[in-house]
A = this chain, B = another copy of it.
Amino acid sequence: MVVADDIFKALADPTRRTILDELAEKSGQTLFEICSRLSMKHRLGISRQAVSQHLAVLEAAGLVGTRREGRYKFHDLNTAPLRQIAERWLVSDTSRPEESTP
């Protein structure tokens, strides 16, 4: 089962957050597509296996969903887990900025 700890741990790494950024920009990317984007756009010298392991962590946290088609495996961002985590401390907070004070 996916718990909050998996989500926070997954978000702790900057490379994984960049991967989420890329998937937010373009969903359904393959491992190799993500690799080349990290290399080209973000100048990240990182091996394919490293990216694969990052994707496994993100998938275990429920932040990324995958679907197989032939020899391709497509990755999609799943923002559902993100909605809960920040609200954990925001709900009981009274110093929140007002929407519009009439």
Contact = CB atoms under 8 A, between A and B. Distances in A.
Given A11-B11, A12-B12, A90 B79 contact: yes
A35 interface: no
A8 B5 contact: no
Interface in A60-101: 77, 79, 82-83, 85-86, 88-90, 92-93, 95-96
Identify whether the interface residues of A are mostly helix, strand, loop, or mixed. Answer: helix
Say which size band chain A's interface belongs to: 20 to 34
A83 B77 contact: no
A75 B88 CA distance: 19
Contacts of A25: 92
For the complex of A and B, list the 6 residue pairs with the smallest distance between their C-beta atoms, beginning with the closest. A86-B86, A12-B12, A79-B93, A24-B89, A8-B11, A82-B86
